[in-house]
Amino acid sequence: MEKMADSLHESYMRLCLKLARIAGERGEVPVGSVIVRDGAVIAEGIEGVRAQHDVAHHAEMEAIRRTCQILQTLDLSGCTLYTSAEPCFMCSYAIRACRIGTVVFGAPVNTVGGFSSHFPVLSTGAVPNWGPPPKIVQGILREECEATRNIPQHRPKL
């Protein structure tokens, strides 16, 4: 059963990697994200900070925004968020606020990651009214995700 779950996680992470490569080609930090519910991709997110002139336009935030719009709810408790890089503090807050049930990421980001850093927003139980933290699955296709982050990016003028 675990091998089947790993295979499923890998297939969604490959989609994240495809989206991350698109972001890199656009001159963005190469991060891609998808949100899945009941085995179906609800929404995708591609990093767009530079193009949108919006520091909050992370891949995870874009996937969350689109999912909330599509499902017409802020309660994403039945959803799984996949992302090529560990969600940052901002994205982790949004994940918790929307009650996403599971977060699957490839590459850790120890400096500003919402799980592995000194500020574990994804796993803390210290904030009232947040409900339980999401289940965390880390390291799916980690080497590929880390390699994607090392692809040279075309940097458009800001």
Query: Residue 32 corresponds to which amino acid?
Result: G
Question: Which one-letter DSSP state was computed for residue 28?
Answer: S
Could you tell me if 67 and 86 are in contact, meaning their C-beta atoms sit under 8 angstroms apart? no
Query: Per-residue DSSP letters for 63-112?
Result: HHHHHHHHHT-S--TT-EEEEEE--BHHHHHHHHHTT-SEEEEEE--TTT
Active site residue 47: no
Distance CA 58, CA 29 (A): 9
From 60, 62, 143, 144, active-site residue: 60
Catalytic residues: 60
